Structure formats: C-alpha cells, structure tokens
Amino acid sequence: MSSDSVFKPEMDSDPQGELADMVASMNTAANRLTPPNGYRSGAPRSIVGQRACLTDRKMSLQERGSRVARQPTIETKRVSITDADDCLQLNQYKLKKEIGKGSYGAVKLAYNEDSEQYYAMKVVSKKKLMRLCGFLRRLPPQGSNSQQDLFPKSMQPLERVYREIAILKKLDHPNVVKLIEVLDDPDEDGLHMAFELMKEGPVMEVPTENPLTEEQARFYFRDVVLGIEYLHYHKIIHRDIKPSNLLLGDDGHVKLADFGVSNEFEGPDALLSSTAGTPAFMAPEMMSEHQQSFSGKALDVWAMGITLFCFVFGECPFYDEYIVSLHNKIKNTPVDFPETPSISDELKDLIERMLDKNPSTRITIPEIKLHPWVTENGSSPLPLEEEHCTAVEVTDEEVQNSVKLIPSLSAVILVKSMLRKRSFSNPFECEGRRAERSMSAPGGLLTGSWGLLGSSPLPHPSSRKISREGSREGELEDLYEDESFTETAD
C-alpha cells in the first residue's frame, strides 16, 4: 500500500488495521535523528518516484495569496491514559509506533478518533528533562552580551520545551509546521504535543545516491528561505536547519520542524555563546577555542548552505567520523564541489557565499532572496517580507501559561444554550421559577438562581473531585474550570 493511498477517506472503515499499514508505508524508522557526523546508517532512501513532479504541485506562496488564520492550539490538562492491546489510548488519541525523534523526545503516530485524522505526537518525559538540568550547558563567558541570549545556559530543558510550545502557538506560516494540541496533565510525567502529520517525511535522507536536481533544490530551498525569514522576522533563531528537519506537506512544499533548540532574541540579531544543533551543520565560529558570542542569523544561513549542498550532492561538504576532525575541517577546509553531478556557476556562487567562514561577510537572508539562482535571474522573485510575515510576541506570561485547561464540555454546552436562547438566565432553570424574578435586577444573577439548578444547589468546586479518568460523564458533572497550571522555575 502506497503512502498516498493510506490517507484516503476509505481508511476509516478499519482504522486499527490501517494504522499498522501506514507506519510500514511511511518508511520513517526511529533512527531518523541525524547522528553527530550528519550521516545515517543503512541504505539511503531513493527520491526517484517518491516525489511528485514540480508541475504537479500546488501553487507557490505568492500564488496562494491571502491565507486563512490558523486555528488556536488546543490546550488540555486533563489526560486519561489507558493501555490497549496494540496502542496507548491518550484521551481521544491512539498512539502507535515511533516514527521519528525530536530534540527532547520521541515522535509517535497518533490517530484522533474525534476528528478521524492522523497527527505526529511528540512525547517527552518531564522528569527526565528535569534530571538533565545542570549537565548540558557551561557558564556564559565573561563580557558576553548574555542579556540578548534569551535561552541562558542555566535554563532547564523542561523550560525550553515550554518555551518551544509558547513559540509554536504563535507561529502561522505555510512553511512552518503547526502545533495542533498540547496535553500536559500536572499529575502525569508525560508531556504530549500533537503536530500536523507530514506524511511524506523529510525532503531527503543524507547521504543518498539520488540527490535533487537544481530545479527541485531551488523549489525546496525557496520554501526554506521564506520559513527562515519568517522566523527571523519574529526574532527566532532555529539553530538546527538540516534536511531531516525539513518536512514535506500535502501540497509538496517544505515546512520547518523541530524547534527544540531554537532561540528567541531581542534587537536586530541574537548574540549567542552556546553550542546547539547537529555538528555537521554547525558554523565554524561556534567551534572557537576561546568562548565568544556569535550571530544567530549567520548560524542559520550557514546551516542553510550545508543543507543546499546536501540537496544537490546528496552528502555534507564536511564529513569525518570523529567530531574533533570534523570541527577542524569545518573551520579550515574550503568547500570542494564534486565533479558529478554538474551544477551551475550561479548555484556554486550561492553555496560559497553561504559557507563563508567569516560570519561578518557571509551572505544574509535579504541578499539570498535577490540572488540570481534563487530568483532565476529575476524571473521568479520571492515575496517581500511584509507580504508573508505578521508580527507576533511571546511574553513571559504566555510561556508560563503555555499549557492551560480548556473549558469542560458541560461549560461549552451551557454557553451555547445561553447564546441560542439569547439570555443570560440559567438555561436549566424551570420556566415557573424563572418567571418569579425580574431579569432587570442583575443582582439576582449572582445571589439567586444563577448558582442553583431549580431547587438543588450546586456543590462548591472546592468540595468536589475531578474524575482522573477524564471521562465525558465526569466533564458533564463539572460546570466549572480548574485553575491554570503554571510551571515555575527554581
């Protein structure tokens, strides 16, 4: 069964059986995480026959015109976990096999029984992340502008995850993967994030004997440029751009994924002093023997240059089995272009300027957008920044409340009933009792029938227990909303 057929509506007749077939057809094993040297073991995946022709794809960002705003991320703090025969039931989601790895957790295939759709569920252990605190980062160098590095080295990994959630909730762009729902029960160890499922997987595997053509590479690279420009516009540095983090959507366009090591910054650029990301895609300024700060935007440009090289040659320009030797090559060895396949002089020029070892003279995103190879000598210009970027701001309060309780089902029913009747009176109150009081006296809403269902008083929320099973029956009994859970740092 092909990866195209398993996602057709006919699969609803047997979702359990189709899930297993889907995992097999997706060919996304758990070793998707790129090893330190930038290469994976095993036979490379062939691209021929697996990617639609460029002429079959949908419209580009310019042609797509105005976009409908994304739906807000669903936030759930009541989680019911049940072990089934072949899966783990997590509220309305059925979690199946592992299909990938992120920076801080595994990614599993999830089937939403309510929407009858598939998602990629990132699962992390809060306890495990908390145990990592204090062992990942060194202290910032003296004299560095540490205030601009909004991800200090002392920040706990769990705090990074909540920062990632707060950032993803705000992002809305065709070339950035969307966060659909966050499930975080304060009494459970697991933190779950449901992303839109990119069923085509990464744009390519590295290494591969079937690299992209220049036309294909240009198509995907233009998407990467727009996605990175959008992030930089919102003062976010991705820090881990590589082919395995560039996922193909249903329309054939690339979406940036995995913001686990991203940084938010203030001012015109980020001044960073910590190392993060995949070594084979790290910039040479990150490997200095003397601790110093470096430009965050320039880091992303360098990683984009390595990625573009991988697109057309199927391998990284700098490779060594040993990390120390790899770092030496990145810092000292010039870019060497293989004889085959042959690429245009314009593409060579772009790669060389992106892989400039001096970050101060390295090409920038605005210059990349105007490069002849990217625009096909001006015949296909990219949209202006203001045409595809909208302002967002992530506040400290939003980070603390990145996961909060959504209203219970009964509360939604109550509000809908009131709106349908166009009245703020109690919709469950009998007509006879409602007629006894005047709606012109708003005090009655607070002291009279608002807190009563007929003649039976509702128990105070503090005197009732919430069902840990997360059942719909328990939600119907709860006509109140719990306080939002706030994650406080030590």
What DSSP string runs through 372-434?
HHHHTTTTSPPPPHHHH-------HHHHHTSS-PPPPHHHHHHHHHHHHHT--S-TTS-HHHH
Sign of the alpha-carbon dihedral angle for 185, 190, 194, 195: positive
In a domain, 490, yes or no: no
* Final residue before a domain boundary, out of 400, 432, 451: 400
In the chain, what percentage of residues exceed pLDDT 70?
Answer: 60
Does residue 184 sit in the same domain as residue 320?
A: yes
Residues 203 and 347 in one domain: yes
**pLDDT attached to residue 275:** 84
Mean pLDDT of the chain: 75
Domain boundary among 400, 434, 457: 400
The pLDDT assigned to 473 comes to 41
- Within this chain, do residues 193 and 223 fall inside the same structural domain, yes or no? yes
Structure tokens at 65: 């015109």
Say whether both 160 and 219 belong to one domain. Answer: yes
What pLDDT, on the 0 to 100 scale, is given for residue 12?
41
Whether residue 336 sits in one domain with residue 467: no
Residue 383: closest CA among 170, 55, 66: 66
Single out the catalytic residue among 149, 223, 240, 300.
Answer: 240
Q: Among 336, 367, 400, which residue terminates a domain?
A: 400
What's the rounded Cα separation, in Å, for the pair 218 and 389?
A: 21
For 335-344, the pLDDT digits (tens) are: 999 999 999 9
Question: Domain for residue 373, yes or no?
Answer: yes
Q: Is the pLDDT confidence value at 50 over 80?
A: no
- The secondary structure of residue 355, as a DSSP letter, is T
Here the tokens at position 45 are 């995946």
Dihedrals φ, ψ of 368, to 5°? -60, -40
**Does 406 reside within a domain?**
no
Question: Which residue has better confidence, 181 or 60?
Answer: 181
Which segments of 110-213 does DSSP mark as H helices, in order?
A: 126-131, 157-170
Task: Give the per-residue pLDDT at 426.
Answer: 61
Give the model's pLDDT for residue 139: 46
Band of residue 159 on the pLDDT scale cut at 50, 70, 90:
confident
Say if residue 245 is in the same domain as residue 103: yes
Q: When comparing pLDDT for 172 and 15, which is higher?
A: 172
Q: Is the pLDDT of residue 450 over 50?
A: no
Please check the confidence at residue 57 and state whether its pLDDT lies above 60: no
Residue 226: burial class (beta carbons within 10 Å; 0-12, 13-18, 19+)? buried
Global pTM value: 0.66
Tokens encoding 120: 């990629």
Q: Are residues 54 and 174 in the same domain?
A: yes
Whether residues 427 and 312 share a domain: the answer is no
| pLDDT classification of 393: cutoffs 50, 70, 90 | low
Same domain, 239 and 122: yes
29 vs 182: which has the higher pLDDT = 182
pLDDT tens per residue across span 233-291: 999 999 999 999 999 988 999 999 988 888 888 899 998 888 888 999 999 999 887 76
DSSP letter assigned to residue 338: -
Q: What are phi and psi of 102, to 5 degrees?
A: -110, -170
Clarify whether residues 308 and 428 are in a common domain. Answer: no
Which has the higher per-residue pLDDT, 128 or 42? 128
On the question of pLDDT at 203 being above 60, the answer is yes
Residue 407 forms part of a structural domain: no
Q: Which domain holds residue 91?
A: 5-400
Q: What is the pLDDT of residue 149?
A: 43
Q: Which of 38-52, 57-71, 274-288, 472-486 has the highest mean pLDDT?
A: 274-288
Average pLDDT (142-157) is: 50
Return the pLDDT at 19.
44
Query: Is 85 marked active-site?
Result: no
- CATH number for the domain spanning 356: value is 1.10.510.10
Asked, for residue 291, whether it belongs to a domain, the answer is: yes
Poorest-confidence range of 300-314, 361-375, 384-398? Answer: 384-398
State the total domains in the chain.
Answer: 2
Backbone angles phi, psi at 10, to 5 degrees: -65, -15
Position of tokens 């719909």?
Answer: 472
Which range scores top for mean pLDDT: 202-211, 256-265, 472-481? 202-211
Residue 429 pLDDT class (50, 70, 90 cuts): low
What pLDDT was estimated at residue 21? 54
Q: What confidence tier does 360 reach under pLDDT thresholds 50, 70, 90?
A: very high
Do 314 and 458 lie in one domain? The reply is: no
- 3-state SS assignment for residue 7: helix
One domain for residues 447 and 353: no
Task: Please state, in angstroms and rounded to a whole number, the distance separating the CA atoms of residues 183 and 403.
Answer: 8
Give the pLDDT band of residue 48 (cuts 50, 70, 90): very low
Higher pLDDT, 340 or 6: 340
Residue 484 is assigned to a structural domain of this protein: no
Does residue 382 belong to any structural domain of this protein?
Answer: yes
Each residue of 98-129: pLDDT tens digit?
988 766 778 999 999 999 999 999 999 998 88
Q: How confident is the model at residue 418 (pLDDT cuts 50, 70, 90)?
A: low
